[in-house]
Amino acid sequence: MKKVDPFAFAAAAAGAGMFFITFFAQHPNRGFDRLRTVDKLGFWLPNWRFFAPEPAQNDLHLLHRTLSLDGEESDWEETHQTTRRRPTHFIWFPDRRTDKGLFDAVADLMAVAPRGEDHLLASPAYRTISAFVRRRIRKATHHPIAGYQFMLATSTGYDETNEPEELLVSPYIPLEA
């Protein structure tokens, strides 16, 4: 019978124990966080939820419509669609910056919204989204328009049983020549 090295056995047992404790410490239920109380420095039990402690639950939609010079409104159309993920995005995905920037601007805007329309219209997030929409409209529209309006909405993505929810509709914004 082969003799087991006690040091190798202890190291394997410790490694297996660390694996299972780390695995359970990542569970979304915060009750499992009590495992971290023994790791005061956060060195032994990594928290891989750091980058998305509360992940997005809905898809964001940015829509716009234009106002013609004679006062006719166009239909709502999608200004920007979140890029569908492809395997190549694991290596190269520059469009992710636009998606993330828009997501962050909307989050900032929705944080300001309860303070009233004056704060909303003066916020950097509102100006950023408005400029983003204006640039997209100028690229896509080849006829003169008086202004535009944008809408922010959320949907549950692939789950089509729920209707999209309107978050915010901007007032009409004049389009400078």
- Residue 108: predicted pLDDT: 92
13-29 burial: b if 16+ Cβ within 10 Å, else e: eeeeeeeebeeebeeee
Binned at pLDDT 50, 70 and 90, residue 83 comes out as: confident
Q: How far is CA 104 from CA 3, 110, 129, 135, 155, in A?
A: 59, 10, 10, 19, 17
Residue 130 near residue 150, CB atoms below 8 Å: yes
Return the domain boundaries, the chain. Answer: 1-54, 59-174
Give 97-130 pLDDT, tens digit per residue: 888 888 889 989 999 999 999 999 999 999 999 9
Q: What is the pTM of this model?
A: 0.66
